[in-house]
Structures are given as C-alpha cells and as structure tokens.
Amino acid sequence: MKLDPRTKMVMVLCLSGLALLYNTPGRLLLLLAVTVAMLLIFRFDLGAIGSYLKPFLSLMVFLFVIQCLFAPSGCVLLAVGPVPLVTTGGLLTGAGVVLRIVVVTAAAMLLATFNARDFILGLVQWKVPYELAFMVSIALRFLPVFRDELVNVVTAVQLRGVDLKKVPWGQKITMYSRLLFPVIYGAMLKAQRLAVSMEARGFRVYPRRTYLRRLEFSRADYVVLTVFPAAAIALVIRHINLLAH
C-alpha cells in the first residue's frame, strides 16, 4: 500500500498518543500488534527496530527494575522482611514502561518508509513554515547519527581490550557518562558541516520557495485519515470514561 507521507504522520501521532495514554501491558501489546501490522503492510524491515532499541537496552532494563522496586502493588512475589521488593503490580508497571518505549519507537519507524523530501513537502503543504519543517526533518535524521556515534565509540573502547560485560555496574555508568562527550562532539561536528553546506547553497536567500511536484491524497489516504483519528478519539474517550468510573 502506498500512502501520502502526511497520512503516515497522522498514523504516527495516533499510535504514539495512545501509547503514552495507556499504561497496561495488555493494551500496549495490542497497540504494538497494530503498529507491527502497519509496518509489515509498508514492507518495513522489522529487524531495524531491534537495532534502534539495542543501544537503549540497558536503559530499558534499568527502568523496568526501578518500576518493579518503587511501584509496589498487588501480590508480593519477593520481599526482604517487611519490605516488598517485587510485586505483581510492579512487574506490570515495569512491563508497561518498556512496552511504551517499544511502541513509540516502532510507530516512529513509519516515518522511515518515505524520504526526507516528502516529509518536508508534506509539512509545507500543511502550511508549516519551511524552516520549521526542515528543522524537524534534520532532528529526525540526527537520531540515527547519535546511534551510530555511540556504536562507534563503544566499538573503539572494545577494540582497546575493555570487556563491557565484565565491567561492574557502578563503573559502567561512569564509563558511559564519559563516553557521552565524544558522541556529542562527533554529532556537533556533523551539524557544523551541515550548516556550512546549507549556507554554501544559499539557504533562506529567497523568501519564497518553489517545488517541482505536489503531494495529492488518494482514496486510501482519505479512508485512513478518517479511520485512524476516529478510532484514536474513541479509544481516548473510552479510557477517560473508565478512569472516571
């Protein structure tokens, strides 16, 4: 199926909004299933989601453990004296946090099913200023840059004989905090080169831009733009009513 980039943006907003609204693993799993189905329809490589989440796996485990320890509720599964450590409610809360991250990441992958030029053109046709649309596009493009910089720095550390799996957690946190500086520095160098390239090509020289083509909605776009927002609004209203009762 081929849809307009603006339609996919609306889909991402609906899926991400529902992921931030829901906090139970069951609903988040259903939302993840819908997101994965959409990615399969657009023939997206699902393995890319794992590669994007891999650098943040330690953070996800950390968040899961924190939620398990500091959000106790339900039946106690593990306790130290009178202090409950692991409860059924804590496990569900931790799983909800991790699933929310996975759903938002998977939904964002829908933006990778079309190129950056269509993304900017879609925002501009929505009357978004070109400079703002370009900034959003560059921000999305720099997310993989940060990931690649982090992978390169970690690989360089491992080539020097440091086995990250054997490093204690306390030292590992300190080491990653020190590795953050070269990652940010490398990304800033790429941003500086991009700025020089934009100035050399006369960015913002003329107040008005022209475009070779325009994006047009098809029947499938109108159907999706009707079904997705309507379903999202209905689910939000239902969730609010359940909370009220």
Name all contacts of 205-210 with Cβ < 8 Å and 24+ positions apart. Answer: 209/124, 209/130
pLDDT per residue over 190-218, tens digit each? Answer: 888 888 888 887 777 777 777 777 888 88
pLDDT per residue over 126-179, tens digit each? Answer: 888 877 877 777 777 776 677 777 777 777 777 777 676 676 766 667 776 777
Query: Which residues on neighbouring strands pair with residue 83, listed in sequence order?
Result: 80
Residue found under tokens 């900017």: 120
Please name which of 160, 181, 162 lies closest in space to residue 172, comparing C-alpha atoms: 162
> What value does the mean pLDDT take over residues 85-99?
82
Rounded Cα distance between 64 and 58, Å, is: 10
**Phi and psi at residue 212, to the nearest 5°:** -70, -35
pTM score of the predicted model:
0.72
Residue found under tokens 């960015």: 203
Give the Å distances, CA to CA, from 152 to 75, 149, 157, 159, 242. Answer: 44, 5, 9, 10, 47
Residues 19 and 108: beta-carbon distance below 8 Å = no
Percent of the chain with pLDDT over 70: 92
Burial of 128 (0-12, 13-18, 19+ CB in 10 A): middle
- For the chain, what are the domain ranges? 1-114+218-231
pLDDT band at 1 (very low <50, low <70, confident <90, very high): low
Rounded Cα distance between 123 and 117, Å, is: 10
